[in-house]
A and B are shown apart, each in its own frame.
Chain A
Amino acid sequence: GAVVSQHPSWVICKSGTSVKIECRSLDFQATTMFWYRQFPKQSLMLMATSNEGSKATYEQGVEKDKFLINHASLTLSTLTVTSAHPEDSSFYICSARVQQQETQYFGPGTRLLVL
C-alpha cells in the first residue's frame, strides 16, 4: 500500500514554456501533498504544502506565481512550472500523507531539464 506516482518521470522543454507535473496517490486518499525540489548532491527542499480543496502554502523564497499548485481531488495534485528557465532544471518530488498521520510517502520524482 501507500503508493504515489508521478508523471512524467522525465521532461525536457524549451526556455519560456510551461510544464505540468502530476502527483497521484494510487491506493489511499491524500488530504495533504507536498512538493520538493532537489538539486544534484543537495538535500531535499520543501517548496509547498498542498491541501485538497484549498490554496497551497508556499515556503519562503518560492514564487507562487511561478510554481502553480492545484490539489483538486484527494488523489491528485499538480505542479505547473510556468515560463521555465534553465535554472528551474531540477528533480521535483512529491509526497503524500494520509489525514491525521505524519508519515509521508514519496513519488518517484520528475526530472526537469530546461534548455
Chain B
Amino acid sequence: QKEVEQNSGPLSVPEGAIASLNCTYSDRGSQSFFWYRQYSGKSPELIMSIYSNGDKEDGRFTAQLNKASQYVSLLIRDSQPSDSATYLCAVGGGRGTALIFGKGTTLSVSS
C-alpha cells in the first residue's frame, strides 16, 4: 500500500525564521508531488506542486524533491504567524486515482 509519512509536529518556529517541513513516500514510481496548507476549520489549499528533482521556488516557499531518497520538503522563509497551519504533503497515486495524503504537520509560528 502506498504511503506518505509526515511528522505530525507541532513544529514551532519564531517569526522570521525558516520552517522546514519534511515528507517521505513509499512508492518509488511516484511522479507528482504536492504541498497543501490547511488552516483550522478550513479546507486544504494548494501551495505548490513539484515534479522534477531539485528545488522549486515560489515567493517565500521552496519545495525540494529527491526521488532517489523518496523525500519531499517544503521550506518557508521569513515565517509569519499567518503561516501557522497544518501542511499536507500529497503524492500522485497514478492511474487516475486520488492523491495520497500524509497526515500533515502542524506548524506554529510565534510572534
Contacts and interface: CB of A to CB of B under 8 A. Distances in A.
Interface of A: 32, 34, 43-44, 46, 49, 91, 93, 102-109
Given A32-B96, A102-B32, A103-B49, A43 B42 contact: no
Nearest to B45: A106
Interface residues of B: mostly helix, strand, loop or mixed? loop
B101 interface: yes
Contacts of B90: 104
A91 B40 CA distance: 12
B88 A44 contact: yes
A73 to B, nearest CB: 19
Interface string B34-78: 101000011111100100000000000000000000000000000
18 contacts: A43-B101, A43-B102, A43-B103, A44-B101, A46-B98, A49-B97, A49-B98, A102-B92, A102-B93, A103-B32, A103-B46, A104-B46, A104-B90, A106-B43, A106-B44, A106-B45, A108-B42, A109-B42
Nearest to B101: A44
A53 to B, nearest CB: 14
B103 A102 contact: no
Nearest to B93: A102
A34 B44 contact: no
Nearest to A99: B96
Contacts of A105: 46
